[in-house]
Amino acid sequence: MSRISIVLPVLNEGAHVAPCLRALQPLRGQNCELILVDGGSRDRTVTLAEPLADQVIVSPRGRAVQMNVGARRAGGDILWFLHADSLPPPDAVSLMSAALEQSERGWGRFDVRLSGRQPLLRVVESLMNLRSRLTGIATGDQGIFVRRALFERIGGYPPIALMEDIALSRLLKRHSRPVCLRQRLTTSSRRWERDGIVRTILLMWRLRLAYFFGADPEWLARIYYHS
C-alpha cells in the first residue's frame, strides 16, 4: 500500500485542532504520516498539535502556501490535503489507495457532508457533490488527494489567496479527471450556520463567478474573510 502524507493547514484553530488530530490518530497506524502546517497562530494551536502529529511546521500564512510547505516536507507517495474541521470516513486510506490504483488516475476527492442538521444543508452538500462530479473541480472541503509525482509535476498549489483548490483542480484536470469517491467526508457547517445558509450560498456563487471572470484572488479573499 502506498504511504500517505496527510497535510493540514491551520490558523488559530486552538478550539478545534486537538479533536481533529485525535480523530486522525488511527490513520497513523495505517501507513500514514500526519503533517500540520501552522500559518502563524496566535492561540495554542501549535502547542496542542505537537503531541498529536508527526510534524508541526510553522510557515508563512496562506492556505496554498502552507499546503505547499507541508507537501515539500512530506514523505508519502500520496498527498492528502485536509481541513482541520473535517472528519474522513474510517476506511479513507484503503479507499484512496484502491481508487488511484484501479483507476490509474492521478488524483481524486471524497463526497462531502456538512455537519449541521438543517434540511437545507442536505441540499447544499448534494449540489456541491453533483457540481464537482460534473465539472471535475474539487474543493478543499472534499479532501483532495493526489499522487506526489503529479503534484510536483504541476508545481503544486498556485500561491493565491483564495480559490487555490479550484486552481489546483484545473491544473490536475489537464492530466486526468478526478476519482470522485461517494464515501463522505464530514466537514463543519459552522460558517454556514454562523453567517446564514442562503447568505453563504450567494457569497460563494458571487466569489466563484468573479474568479471565473478573472477577479484578483487577493480581492476575493478580502471579501470572503471579512464578509
pLDDT category of residue 60 using cuts at 50, 70 and 90: very high
The 10s digit of each residue's pLDDT in 14-49 is 988 999 999 999 999 888 999 999 999 999 999 999
Integer angstrom CA distances of residue 42 from 51, 214, 227: 18, 33, 22
Across all residues in the chain, what is the average pLDDT?
Answer: 94
Q: Which CATH number fits domain 4-190: 3.90.1150.10, 3.90.550.10, 3.30.70.3270, 3.40.1800.10?
A: 3.90.550.10
> Does pLDDT of 95 surpass 80?
yes
What residue spans define the domains of the chain? 4-190
Interior angle at CA 146, CA 167 and CA 74, nearest 5? 105
Q: What is the pTM of this model?
A: 0.95
Q: What is the percent of the chain where pLDDT is above 70?
A: 99
Enumerate residues 6+ apart whose C-beta is below 8 A from 190.
85, 115
